[in-house]
Amino acid sequence: MAGEHEVVFWMGKFPAVLPRDRQYCRNHMWCQSHGERRRFGFTSYAVRLMQDVYFLDWHVNEGDHVSYLQQIGHIETSKATADLFAPLTGRIIQFNHALLQDASPINLDGYGAGWLFEMTETEGEVWDAEQYKAYLEATWEETQRTLKGDINR
């Protein structure tokens, strides 16, 4: 059962916990404001879909201004290698450099030590936990078909 500080989306029998103290982006990243900065990381939903994240690399530098959905890096998981895209428009001011040596905090503490980067001057759509859960519910059937390789149904 979800506590008052979180929302849970059930991925079959697996819970994706969504803390209420964060906002969420369409590309399955969370963000949390720290003054002028926003810290970003993968949601538990994204981590569950990717499974074991073991490598992360950035294609942009600290200080770079990025546009929404601009490719900013890539990630390797036990499932696949995938490009990473900016969740909002803004300036990337800091990466979590520890993840370049060891990406396991993404899997073990995605809402804490597994954070990815920080941005300022952000623009774009973000949702609260309930709105993100509603988005997941609306797209879950299609996601399952994609995962099973049955996209044409």
- Sorted by where each starts, the structural domains of the chain and their CATH numbers stand as 14-139 (2.40.50.100)
Query: Over pLDDT 70: what percentage of the chain?
Result: 91
pLDDT at 46 over 70: yes
Average pLDDT over all residues of the chain:
90
Q: Give the 3-state secondary structure of 103-123.
A: CHHHHHCCCCCCCCEEEEEEE
Question: How far is it, in rounded angstroms, from Cα 94 to Cα 148?
Answer: 36
Q: What is the pLDDT of residue 25?
A: 96
User: Mean pLDDT throughout 27-46?
Assistant: 95
Query: 0.85 exceeded by the pTM?
Result: yes
pLDDT at 31 over 50: yes
